[in-house]
Structure 1
Amino acid sequence: MTTRLRVLDDGAWLSVDDTRRVSVSELWRLDAPDFCECALADLVVENFLDVGVDGRTVTARVYGQCIACGTKSTVEWVPVGRIVDGEFVHIDREGVLSVRGSTPDRAAAEEPERRSG
């Protein structure tokens, strides 16, 4: 099964199968020790840089700012949703999100589609 994942509007949205699903300006609580010195970062998402899949989990590289300490940087591969029976399901971004250490599966840079299994 193929699911189309794209970054739209100069990094303002993540699109899944041509529908805007996740937007910037959300506040995410992250377990991301490489991002800043806070035990848990309170990240305001300012830009989506890339999107990929790790198994059935949709992940994104984002740029943002921790509102607690002021750090501005890129966060690698944060889970934002899952593909279940061919449909996108949001991950609860109200809880603590853990940054994934591995690079997700990604198609060639010129191709907007990403495969999920």
Structure 2
Amino acid sequence: MVTAVRTLDEGAWVNVNNTRIVGVSDIWPLVDHDVCDCDTALFLVEVFTDIGVDGPWVEARAAGQCIGCGERGATGWLRIGRADGDEFRSIDYEGGQRPSNARFSD
């Protein structure tokens, strides 16, 4: 099965199989990161810079700002969901937050 993955609206959305699944303006608590010196960066996503697929996983890199310290930066690859056949499943994060970059298992 082929999964179509792309960005829309100049990096404002990640689109999987013609469905917008993740948009900018979310705050992601990043645990393992190089964005800033905060233990957990509260990262405001401003743009998706890259998207890709690693096996069944849909991943993205984003640029934005830590709202805790104000530092700007970009993330590494973060898993945002997985393609199961022709269905996409978003990763559920504590409190409804998006990637805490992968302190989870397959």
TM superposition score category, shorter chain reference: 0.7 to 0.9
DSSP 3-state at the match of 2:15: strand
How far apart, in 2, do the equivalents of 1:50 and 1:96 lie? 15
Matched residues, percent identical? Answer: 44
Structure-1 residue corresponding to 2:48: 48
Given residue 57 of structure 2, which amino acid in structure 1 is its aligned partner?
T
Structure 1 gap ranges (5+): 100-117
Q: How does 1:1-117 map to 2 (within 5 A)?
A: 1-93=1-93, 94=97, 97-98=100-101
- Unmatched segments (≥5 aa) in structure 2: none
Give 1:96 deviation, angstroms.
5.7
The number of residues matched between the two structures is: 99
4+ residue runs of structure 1 moved beyond 6 angstroms? none
Aligned residue identity for 2:16: V
With over 3 angstroms needed to count, the CA separation of the structure-2 counterparts of 1:14 and 1:30, relative to structure 1, is same
Q: Find the counterpart in structure 2 of residue 113 from structure 1.
A: none
